[in-house]
A and B are shown apart, each in its own frame.
Chain A
């Protein structure tokens, strides 16, 4: 019933010259998304990845279990001295992420270009 979460990793460079690892998600982000969300993040090399950018452009549905997975990722990133940012959330999920306090630990941007320009 829930659409499977797909994830993909891209390596980009910000205009300021910093390497940025982009995790692109597609589908629903719910309790069944652990491998796609946390598994994909945990497979990144901890010693070389410093900036992580989450792409939610193709995500339609995020529930509280999905939010918990994002929080778990933020905890692990914080423990590894990585900084996490996100873009592509709908206005509604931007509001939800702000309500729960995620924006204190992950900057949100409307688009990839705006996120990269800030990094």
Chain B
């Protein structure tokens, strides 16, 4: 019999292994999972400290932003992304729309007993790649395991911190009458990509999720000098929800031009088929910008120069309205309001 090397530790069976309760119990199995899977993928100087909390340098000047987001998307893997990169992009975006430079992320995983390690590795590698590309390391994390049936494979919660430099002031209550409303690209890609994957609806379309980290685009926009009042990323509930939120916060009304709304033809067709409205479908890589009217062209030019903003376009204006309605001139010529979403948008027969 050949000698077994001293100090040999049987590695995780990524190919066939599954999460079991021992991976969450705090013992050796969990330590191995963290070391061989998470730490190996996310590796950075802070993680290497190996403590319960990450020791981080305190930046001087400016104000700090902190944001948190939980990700429960199903299916876990979809065209254009997965729950892993989504969780990195989503929180980076929440920090960046405040005008902050995102600095660090934390990631907490709730894993379901029986979840395949191969899938977990795919997700973790995707997160690592997204974090690296964005230049925002994952500096601390946590893992828990729940019994089979009590979780949808995996839930990921990420928290992000960033610093807003002096002189930058963005907030949902700063929109003013006369401002222009811009959007960085096409609407509804993410939501419809997810719908297409849900086999119970049985349609296939070449739609990719638009999940992306927007801090680079935002930086380009802010350094252009355009007087930006509000930045938001229109995720759940779509553009309609985001605009209604801003209208309420800023106590203004809005008027959109339906003809200006950018929607990919496959997304429009899929929405039409299911009776959904692209205005309410989720996006994960788009930016809503409310900017002073005189800086509209400057802002658009800045965004269009960036890969994520090539289809940036103006879609409407802000005006006085004591009722804070978001209205729209339809492509047909008539008017309607774009109201708050009622419940969840469900495919309909009627």
Q: Do A and B bind each other?
A: no
Chain A contact residues, CB within 8 Å of chain B = none
Residues of B within 8 A of A (CB): none
